[in-house]
Amino acid sequence: MSTPSLRTYAFVDRMQPQCAAHIAATSPGDVPIAGMAELYIEMAPGNEVFRAADIALKAAGVRPALQIIEREFGLLEIHSEQQAEVLASGQAVLDEFGLVETDRIRPAIASTQFITNVHPYQAQLLNKWRKGSMLMPGQSLFIMEVAPAAYISIAANEAEKAASITVIELRAVGRFGRMFLSGTESEVQSARDAAVGALQELKGQDA
């Protein structure tokens, strides 16, 4: 039996209020709150995430927000008030599978869009399906698309740390992760720079 591949290993040290609220509102499992640490682990084949969840939950005091099996990949999110618990849980998974953190796929930014003075009609269209806050006409909008998808959680969290922005939508599941952030032009620029910088710092393997 071959060693499963580690697609994503994305650690968030301190969840920001909007990011935590979005996960809590859209995930089927335990509800995280701001200030918690969290970890996303994505593996292939997808069924390996069941074993990863078993190891993670038994290794330390963490709770899961989601365990999702897609066509090709399996995704697990765990969180705790204590960073050390999340890190210990993640390390137990890596050890059991004979992996190290840098075996993960390095995030690749597929696209970014920066739109100033959003038109009222476009704002209304986006508001039809967003699960976060409303996008107001006239604001600036930043959209990022990244693969593997779960890395968008790091990008969004660092963006919220760096600037006073509004989280419109986060999608951390699927082939690509996407986030939609809005605010003043200068704040959205700062958020963009923080998000891009955070992803560029992560070490891993090329897809």
Domain map (residue ranges) of the chain: 5-103, 108-200
Q: Are 20 and 33 in contact (CB under 8 A)?
A: yes
The CATH homologous superfamily to which domain 5-103 belongs is: BMC (bacterial microcompartment) domain (3.30.70.1710)
Q: Are 143 and 118 in contact (CB under 8 A)?
A: no
User: Which residue is it, tokens 């989601």?
Assistant: 66
Going across the sheet that includes 166-171, the strands are 108-115, 140-147, 177-183, 166-171
Per-residue pLDDT 10s for the chain (207 aa) are 567 899 999 999 999 999 999 999 999 999 999 999 999 999 999 999 999 999 999 999 999 999 999 878 999 999 999 999 999 999 999 999 999 999 999 999 999 999 999 999 999 999 999 989 999 999 999 999 999 999 999 999 999 999 999 999 999 998 899 999 999 999 999 999 999 999 999 999 998
The amino acid at 16: Q
DSSP 42: E
| pTM, 2 dp | 0.93
The CATH homologous superfamily to which domain 108-200 belongs is: BMC (bacterial microcompartment) domain (3.30.70.1710)
Q: Are 14 and 37 in contact (CB under 8 A)?
A: yes
The amino acid at 144: M
The size of the chain, in residues, is 207
User: DSSP per residue over 92-110, as a string?
Assistant: HHHHHHT--GGGSBPPEEE
